[in-house]
Structure 1
Amino acid sequence: MDKPVCLIDTESDGTLCVQRSALQILQQIQQPVVVVAVVGLYRTGKSYLMNRLAGKQAGFALGSTIESKTKGIWMWCVSHPTKIGTTLVLLDTEGLGDVDKGDSKHDTKIFSLAVLLSSTIVVNSRGTIDNRAIEELQYVTELTEYIKIKSPDEVVDDSEFKFLPNFIWAVRDFTLQLNINGQDATEDEYLEFALKLKLGNSSQVNNYNLPRECIQKYFPSRKCFTFPFPTKPDNVSHLETLDQADISKKFLEVTDRFSQFIFDQSQVKNLTDGCTVTGRVLGHLVKMYVDTFSGGAVLCLENAVIAMAMIENESAMKEGLEVYQSGMEKLKDSFPLELNEITSKHQCFRLMATQTFTKRSFRDNDGKYLTSLEEAISHQYDAYLWDNEKASEAKCESLMSVLSDPMTERINQGFYASIGGYTLFCQDLEDIVNQYNTLACKEVKIAEVLEKFLREKVAVTTAIQQADDKLTENERMICEERERAVLLEQEMIAQEERQRQLEEKMKTEQQNNEERARQIMLRKQEEMSRQQQETKRAMESKQREQAALLEKSFQEKADRMARERAELQRKNAEQEEIAARTYAQMIADQQQRNEQNMEVLRQQHIQQMQAIHYRPRPRSESSCSIQ
């Protein structure tokens, strides 16, 4: 994108709406996304920071009047400068606290959307982080009014909100000395000092502590940057057009540190269970979140993720099947082919299809959609095998027609209806069969078409034999017996070829089953790894908070934090146990389906083997033998 576009706008009645053109841009982004959103009071210079992150001097609108310039949420997608294969999505939100809005809840919705969509949220303010600045960030205390992790009926600990983004406070026009109690302090220490809780249980103390507690709970990863004045007051209104020489070196130095920190430390956007968010998935999230808020409902993240997973997995399944069909349709132009060649291509395209599915699929934890894709591919494969057989049959029949036309013409002319005609007919027939077997040796229907041809010639053979006065009655009986033996032999050859093809299909099915089980195991291992990482991050965060509370003599809150850690450990162990049971059941179900499919093939195998075994073998060679 060469410039930002409006992602979320506000209609005339105050309802939030998503811009379709912006969603279409996100739908085209297949890469993982790092999402950085900036929030803060209007006219505090948020857009300037976003432009610098985009590597541009201008882009997001900078206001130079008392009127808020940015409306809704604007988006700018650029290639990530340090993470290859990743897209950096910048979200510039409208200024909070604009008196012209009228709707007191509008700002909370904008703030909530910025929090939900981002992997790093930047709070931009001016002056200092004093009590007023923190109170102006009251929206953080209202998050739970709009967002629920699970269904409203389920009781969820506040610690469940640990999935929220990294938190950066950018303090603009900062003029104070970084000094706490006479000691030099870092920017981060300054932030933590500003978030320090007061002792006591009075309503005044509780009101003072509430926003600070929410920031500490919801945003365990916090960072602070203090920016000096960028330039002379007269130049601030057109900051984006100033030469570097006209901007404070200290301001540029902090801006560079801020940008580099964002590039290095802001992680790819993940959901509650650690699933990676791509641009396409982000588009789904934006649409569902905005629709929920616009409808006046409380957003249940679990339900939203489930709904999105269904959309993504159905699309992933369709996309995977299209990959398979595309490859096989091109192959179909070359039909007929040998069975091993079409099987090899089938395996190749099937693997490509499952890889395409895996790349796009989302939370297919029970392998339901992967199994559906495999079953659809299996049905398609059977259809392509049928098409290949029909093409082979048509080719073999055409070849047989060309080879047998001269003999058919002789029959119609009565050429063989004479003394010695039977011997000539047998010689011609044998020549036709030998040529056919040579030219059609690689065709899957070679045996069946030949069997059909010989059966069609039984009546003609008998008539020519009867018309040949050179043969004695005894010789005719011997010839008839030998012809039946030849026909039976050809039937057995055709049956054995069908058996070979069935065995090849069983082998392919077994390989597919093994690959499917391997794919499911890999997905489950990745899922477990993501969950363990998220749990580890949450546990470490709680441990740090508990230590900080103990250090500050908040024993009661530290004890509560210890209980939360124990509860988190219990829930994690319970989730791992459930996941293990689910995985075991999924594998068992998969094995049962595989065994049922294989049993069908085995029964077909047994029936064909019995058909071959119980057929009588020919007893002798024929003077009209066909090999």
Structure 2
Amino acid sequence: MASATQMPAPVCLIENSPRKGLVVQQEALQVLSEIPQPVVVVGITGLYRTGKSYLMNRLAGQRKGFSMGSGVQAHTKGIWMWCVPHPCRPGHTLVLLDSEGLGDVKKGDTKNDTWIFVLTVLLSSTLIYNSKGSIDQRAVEELYYVMKLTERVKVKAGLEEREDGLEEAGQLVPFLPTFVWAVRDFTLQLEKDGEEISEDEYLEDALELEAGDSPETQRCNQPRECIRQSFPHRKCFIFDQPASRSDLVRLEELQDDEMSHEFQQQVEKFCRHIWEKSPPKTIPGGRILTGNLLGKLAETYVEAIESGAVPCLESAVQALAEMENTAAVKEAVTLYRDLMEQRAKLPTETVEEFLELHSQCEQEALELFRKRAFEEGMSQFQAELKRQVEEVKEKFCTGNEEASRAKCEGALRKLFQDIERRLHDGVYSVVGGSGLFKADLLALEKNYWEMPGKGVKAAAVLEKFLKDIEAVTTVILTVDQSLKDKEEELKRAQQQHEKAEQEWKKKMKIHIAVSIGFGVLSIAVPPLRALRFFKLLL
């Protein structure tokens, strides 16, 4: 990421080209896009050849940088920008805008001078108006004339202008910067009614309204009232002539001992005030701009001007809000995705665990979005953020299920290997084999459930597995039943055989007649026994 310290010299922010008109320079936009910090934007404007660039170089902590020139023609063209680390606000960047001087009589077409001033005013958080001599009625009227250029912008879309071309008083103020009047080559005494006054009191006295309601008084008061209303926060600095007239042409080369001591003190006091008091650039609603947003705001204003439309400040802010909120949604969705990828150890053990992880990552994404997003249209963009997060969540949910399914299927394949070997070896092709098979399946299920990290598809994958091997189970049951039936058949045949043998043995018995006292007894004896009997008689 680029740092302001990598910007050794100013670059053109908005070119004022007679042929192309106003053009925002991509080099400057690239510099601003790489500044994520809040920016304090100090712009300077005023008549040409009044020494504006010298003050801006000193604010940058340098003697050289912004082109000063030495002739009688305006030297700065368009708006030039110099970004430096803020000397008093850590974490902020000081953006200095040196604008093309007004009133160059050598320019044939001064149309864009108006817009250069307006853009400097609208982009700055502190505006320095640089003039020479003193703050008299003429100087007030010159600033008033310049300020009337802001009538070329509209605050609200569709707002009807008044007959005098002005919008409702005070509507423009939230868009305007704090104001510093720098009076160069001041030769008067800071006194009023014989008493010494401060520089701020000098400015306030110059802007004080005269009593009365005559046309002449009203003409005198009108520019003063305009300046007072436009810049409720204002400050004044006076500067002595820095050196002799002959040395002014090489002012940036002069050493301290060649310059007026009073001028050096005045410049130091001026710089200290700008560094310490200039606020960060904000837009209505209190939104502080980063360098990136400042660049987008400049583009929005210039696009409106070049389109020929009257720039509308409210519309510009809305356009900026839409761009930033769109970017905020994208950044928040990216954060959600990154957090899920970093933290999700897929598969999660339960759906609840996954949803808890999702909730934590979504909350962090929402917090990032709310920090970056503009209030304008935030609810609409927050709804879009939730929709996109939900899409990413569904992808992670699918990935979680697939990871669980893959792990569970792998575990079951491994556990089933022993059973497969037994099937191949015919262990289950015996009477009672189905019982052995069921026992092994129960052991497989037990080992499966004891394995950690199976994820949300554990039950579903097991159910499918058992369903897939139903055919094997059926075959084993069928074989087992067939073997049982055969065994029963053999048993019955054996029994029938034994019964037949018994019958035969009965039929083969020998009847022996034994004479006893009262008659003859016939005894059936098996042949072997009869043989033994006859042997006994012999």
TM-score scaled by structure 2?
A: 0.82
Provide the C-alpha distance between the structure 1 equivalents of 2:335 and 2:366, rounded to a whole number of angstroms. Answer: 9
- 1:61 alignment counterpart: 67
- Provide closer, same or farther for how the CA distance between residues 396 and 182 of structure 1 changes in structure 2, counting only shifts above 3 A: same
Q: After superposition, where does 1:584-623 map in structure 2 within 5 Å?
A: none
Out of 338, 349, 354, the residue aligned to residue 326 of structure 1 is: 338
From 352, 358, 373, the equivalent of 1:346 is 358
Deviation sequence 1:431-477 (CA, Å, 0-9, x none): 2222222225642222221112222233332332233259989xxxx
Over 3 Å counting, the alpha-carbon distance change for 1:107 and 1:89 in structure 2 is same
What pairs with 1:287-306 in structure 2 (closer than 5 Å)?
287-306=299-318
Query: What is the correspondence of 1:413-424 to structure 2 with a 5 Å cutoff?
Result: 413-424=425-436
1:178 matches 2:190:
yes
Task: Give 1:308's match in structure 2, choosing from 316, 320, 335.
Answer: 320
| Aligned 8 A contact 2:73 2:106 in 1 | no
Partner of 2:11: 5
Maintained 8 Å contact 1:149/1:300: yes
- Measured in 1, the distance between the counterparts of 2:50 and 2:278 equals 23
> Which of 136, 141, 153 is the matching residue for 2:142?
136
Partner of 2:496: none
Separation in 2, partners of 1:246, 1:319: 54
- Count of matched residue pairs: 472
How far 1:161 moved relative to its partner?
A: 2.1
Superposition pairs for residues 389-400 of structure 1, below 5 Å? Answer: 389-400=401-412
Is 1:27 the counterpart of 2:33? The answer is yes
User: Identity of paired residues, percent?
Assistant: 46
Structural mapping, 1:146-185, within 5 Å: 146-154=152-160, 156-163=167-174, 164-185=176-197
Are the counterparts in 2 of residues 18 and 286 from structure 1 also a CA contact under 8 Å?
A: yes
Q: How far apart, CA to CA, are the structure 1 residues paired with 2:221 and 2:109?
A: 26
Name the counterpart of 2:298: 286
| CA spacing shift, 1:465–1:224, aligned 2, 3 Å | same
**Which range moved further: 322-331 or 8-17?**
322-331
Query: Partners in 1 of 2:263 and 2:482 — Cα distance?
Result: 116
- One-letter amino acid of the structure 2 residue matched with residue 88 of structure 1: L
What is the identity, as a one-letter code, of the residue corresponding to 2:297?
Answer: L
Q: Is the 8 A contact 1:9 1:16 kept in 2?
A: yes
Q: Distance in 2 between matches of 1:449 and 1:145?
A: 72
Residue in 2 that maps onto 1:234: 246
Distance in 2 of aligned mates of 1:324 and 1:32: 25
CA contact (8 A) 1:140 1:211 kept: no
Q: Report how far residue 154 of structure 1 moved.
A: 4.5
RMSD value over aligned CA atoms?
Answer: 2.3
Q: Aligned residue for 1:582?
A: none
- Displacement, 1:167? 1.0
Q: CA deviation at 1:144?
A: 4.5
Corresponding residue to 1:90 among 72, 88, 96: 96
Deviation track 1:404-439 (CA, whole Å, cap 9, x = no partner) reads 133234335543122121222123222222222222
- TM-score, length-normalised on structure 1? 0.71
Residue among 258, 262, 282 paired with 2:270: 258
Tell me the residue number matched to 1:117. Answer: 123
Q: Distance in 2 between matches of 1:452 and 1:298?
A: 69
Structure 2: runs of 5 or more not aligned: 1-6, 162-166, 486-538
Give the unaligned 5+ runs of structure 1: 474-627
SS, match of residue 137 in structure 1:
helix
SS in 1 for 2:219: helix
Structure 1 residue 287: deviation in Å? 0.8
How far the C-alpha of 1:174 sits from its partner, in A, is: 0.8
- 1:47 shift after superposition: 0.7
Cα distance, 1:441–1:309 mapped onto 2, change above 3 Å: closer
Once the two structures are superposed, what CA deviation does each residue of 1:194-222 show, in whole Å capped at 9, x if it has no partner? Answer: 22333455554443333222111101111
How far apart are the structure 2 equivalents of 1:75 and 1:456? 73
Match of 2:502 in 1: none
Q: Distance in 2 between matches of 1:303 and 1:187?
A: 38
User: Amino acid of the residue matched to residue 29 of structure 2?
Assistant: L
Cα distance change of structure 1 residues 190 and 440 upon mapping to structure 2, 3 Å threshold = closer
Say if 2:329 and 2:381, in contact at 8 Å, map to a contact too: yes
Contact 1:440/1:446 (<8 A) preserved: no
1:97 partner amino acid: G
Amino acid at match of 1:120: T
Distance 1:389 1:457 in 2: 22
Q: Secondary structure of 2:283's match?
A: coil
Task: Answer whether contact 2:318 2:376 (CA < 8 A) is retained.
Answer: no
User: Residue 17 of structure 1 is aligned with which of 10, 16, 23?
Assistant: 23
Q: Going by fraction, where is strand more abundant, 1 or 2?
A: 2
